[in-house]
Structure 1
Amino acid sequence: MSEQQSTSKELAVFLFCSTVYRLFSGALLVSLTWTILKQNDDDYLPLALAIFCSFIPAFITPVMIKRLSRRMDGRQMSAWFVLCLTGLALISGLSRNVTVGLLVTNLFVWLMIMSLEASLDMWFTQLQRGMDQTRVRRISGATTATSQAALMVGPLLAAGLMPILNGMGFSLVLGAGFLLVAGVCHSRRSLPVAVQEAGKVVAPARLPLTLFVPMVLIWPILGAFNFMLPVYVSNHGWSLFELGVLDAVFGLGMALIGVLVIIANTGRNLLAYLCALIALAVISTSMWWLMPDTLLLKALSLLILGMAFGGARVHIRVAIAYRYSEAAVGLYVSKANALATPVLLLILSLQLAIIENAWLLPFLLVSLTVALLLQTSATRFARGQAPVEAVSV
């Protein structure tokens, strides 16, 4: 089998595993969040505590990734992390009536998810070696589109199945989905060394601050959004269905921008691409603030916000994957996740202090993220072509 055929098959496996994993993780996270909120009679403090504690594992992830990368590649790590999610999904069903049990389960679920995000980025970095940047950007757009479509369906899956199945039945469905992904990951062999090293393009000496700060903000934005949305839905007397719809359209926006990246060669005019993302962030903020509180208008606002946020994530992913080694990517992503924890604590504290306007922070943070990416150093970094020395980790 040729190297190109081997890489294409591995890309297909990566696409399947990352998509199905995100489908079931989206359903699991929404079910945990909603159950914790409703068990405490709409008291927002346990929800804020759950979301903040979710990011404590970020301090552990860099050490885990660094040590595991000495023995395993990104694909192998992904298989083991998804297998752990299988067990956690079952535990969530057993502890569904115990708030402390749900909080602890939520903590370990996020440890696996953060570890998976780093390992999947390592796997993606391994696969794109030797490709030109335009193809890397389009592959990143494709994985973003499918993954976010899965995250969009995940909350709807939870909203549809939770009222029908008992707590354990829903957990068994989630566990079966995670087990399937773990099995597919484990059954694949790693790419030959020649494929991994071909056309190696590695990092400059430093990661620009205007790129690293947006990497740090990714999880706080999601955390602020995950806190804001149930609060808004509950305050308006809506149900799990409305929560699932609003969560889903945010993911749909990220999927849509991924499709647009595939269709358009955004690398030719990166400045215009990032300016368009800023415009989307401003439009979505204005719509949420000024438009009436109807499900349709709020959904449209979150669709546009999802496009802005998803577009920023595609840009970040391409910039680091194209220039850094697999191990360096895993380390940088995990370090950014660790620094995200104190940032999230500050954001959640602000949201609790301005609970009626808790929605504002995720919208503003998306705008800030894209604004930082517009800085000259980040833009030039993403478009640079000269190979330089590898980063030691």
Structure 2
Amino acid sequence: MNFVRHDDTYENAITSKESVKIIHYLIGMLMWPILGTTNFMLPTFIAYKNGEIHEVAILDSALGVGMALIGILLSKYLSYKWINIFLLTSVSIPLLWYCFEGTLIIKLLLMLLFGLSFGGARIIFRKIIVTAYASHTVKNVYSLGNALGLPILSICIYLGMLNLDFVWLPSFVLLIILLALLKTQHQKGTL
């Protein structure tokens, strides 16, 4: 029988720390704030615009459906070329939201597109770090990214509260930044 001491495995994990690219921490830092600002934005914006509570549920469901659909699609056709589509989509979302913020069906389609783009970015990022790093390093990237994302989330919520007409903007801007970072890294060939 071969017994492994806990101290030995802990020591090996400490000495085998991998170097993580800062860009991967930055991307990880944006994941939670994007979801957090969206979950804050939807009920706040709808209430501010005197909408009905069912509108929040419908828009949130469209976000979830978009994330589920892109998960199914990318499970069959995962390619880094999707980043270009997601980036173009994410740039158009705030422009269209601004123009059609009073039209529920347009907002519904935009939240579906938001879910597609955000869900796709999450899947592509997960593939990148899972193939680039060992599992203990992946856990570290996610946990540190989530922890460091809290100040970003706080700042975005604060900015949204300054002008409730634009409480939707931080979510969309964060998604654009996330996808721009993914695209930049892909173009450099460092993914």
TM superposition score normalised by structure 2: 0.84
Deviation at 1:346, TM superposition (A): 1.3
Deviation at 1:307, TM superposition (A): 1.0
Deviation at 1:326, TM superposition (A): 2.1
Partner of 1:200: none
1:233 to 46, 49, 55: 46
Question: Identity across aligned pairs (percent)?
Answer: 30
Partners of 2:48 and 2:164 within 8 A in 1: no
Partners of 2:17 and 2:137 within 8 A in 1: no
RMSD over equivalenced CA pairs, Å? 2.2
* Structure 1 segments unaligned to the other structure (5+ residues): 1-68, 71-202, 383-393
- 1:257 to 2:66 alignment: no
- 1:355 to 2:168 alignment: no
Partner of 1:19: none
1:315 to 96, 99, 124: 124
Deviation at 1:279, TM superposition (A): 0.8
> Could you report, residue by residue, the CA deviation over 1:50-76 in whole angstroms, capped at 9, with x for unpaired residues?
xxxxxxxxxxxxxxxxxxx97xxxxxx
Amino acid across the alignment from 1:255: A
How many residues align structurally? 178
Structure with greater Cα Rg: 1
Partners of 1:312 and 1:370 within 8 A in 2: yes
Amino acid across the alignment from 1:209: I
In 2, Cα distance between equivalents of 1:276 and 1:377: 14
TM superposition score normalised by structure 1: 0.43
1:351/1:331 CA distance change after superposition, 3 Å: same
Deviation at 1:377, TM superposition (A): 6.3
- 1:337 to 2:146 alignment: yes
Partners of 1:274 and 1:370 within 8 A in 2: yes
1:305 to 95, 107, 114: 114
Partners of 1:281 and 1:308 within 8 A in 2: yes
Partner of 2:184: 375
Partner of 2:22: 209
Deviation at 1:292, TM superposition (A): 5.0
Partner of 2:5: none
> Could you report, residue by residue, the CA deviation over 1:259-298 in whole angstroms, capped at 9, with x for unpaired residues?
22123241xxx2x321111111012222211125122111
In 1, Cα distance between equivalents of 2:130 and 2:190: 12
